[in-house]
Amino acid sequence: MSTFTVLKTLDMKKLCMLTVSLLTVCVTYAQIKQGTTLLGGDLLFSRMNTWDDGNSHANTTTSIYISPSVGRAIGDDLVAGIAAGYGQTTAKTFSQSPFIFRTKSYGVNLFVRRYRNVAGGLSVFLEAALQGQYTDQTQTDRATAIVNQHTKIYTATLGLDPGLAYAVSSRLWLEAGFQNLLYAQYQHTRTTAEGAPGSKQDIYNIGSLLGSSGVSLGFRFLFNQ
C-alpha cells in the first residue's frame, strides 16, 4: 500500500469518526433522559384592528396569554407535568352600539408528552392534556360605563396536541405546539344581562380544530439532564 493510500485511509477514518461524534452530540441534545426536570412556559401576545364601513375608528382586540409549566421525564423522551394559565382579552367596538368586551381566563393543565427525534436537534412531540378553565366575560356600554352583560364559563377539555421542538443546546429547547387538533370538551355557561333573566347552558363537543388551531410558542430549560 502506498504512503498516499495510507494517509487517505486515515483521513477518511478521522472524517467518519468526526461525523459520528457530531451526530452523537445532536442526538444527545435531542433526547430527554429519564429523571430530567423541565421548567418553562408559553407566552402569546396579539393585537388586531378592524374597521366597519362608514366608521373612522378601528375596532381593536388585544390578547395576552401566559402559561408557566413544570414537567418530569418519567422515561426517556416521555414527560409528565402540570401547567397553569392566565389569559386576558379586551375588545373595543365603535359601531352604532359601542361596547367594551373584557375576558379573563384561568386554567390548570395536566399533560403527558412523548418526544421523538427527527434529525439533529429537531424533534416532534405528541401531547395528551386534560385542562380545566374558568372564563369571566363582561360587556360594558362605553357611553354609560355600565356592565350590561356578565358571563361565566367553566370548561373541561381533553385534547391531543402535536408540536415541534428544537434543541438549541442540551439545556434549552424552543417549542411550537398546535392546540386541540383533536378534543373532547364540556362547557357550562351562566349569563346575566341587564333587564333580562339569567340563563344557563351546557355544551358537549367532540371534534377537531384542524385548519383553525392556535399555535403556542414556548421554551423549556432542562435540569439534571
pLDDT tens-place string over residues 35-48? 999 999 988 777 77
**What Rg do the C-alpha atoms of the chain give, in angstroms?**
25
- The answer on pLDDT for 4 being more than 80 is no
pLDDT band at residue 95, thresholds of 50, 70 and 90?
low
**Confidence at 222, pLDDT banded by 50, 70, 90:** very high
pLDDT value at 189 more than 80: yes
Q: What is the pLDDT of residues 126-153, one digit of tens each?
A: 999 999 999 999 988 877 778 888 999 9
What would the 3-class secondary structure string for 98-147 be?
CEEEEEEEEEEEEEEEEEEEEECCEEEEEEEEEEEEEEEEEEEECCCCCE
* 122 compared with 16, residue with greater pLDDT: 122
List Cα–Cα distances, 83 to 14, 109, 144, 183, 199, in angstroms: 46, 5, 39, 18, 32
CATH class of the domain comprising 31-223: mainly beta
Residues 125 and 63: their CA atoms lie apart, in Å, by 27
The three grid cell numbers given for residue 15, joined into one nine-digit string: 472524517
pTM of the model: 0.73
The SS3 of residue 40 is strand
Q: How many CB atoms lie within 10 A of CB 23?
A: 12
Q: Is 108 within 8 Å of 82 (Cβ atoms)?
A: yes
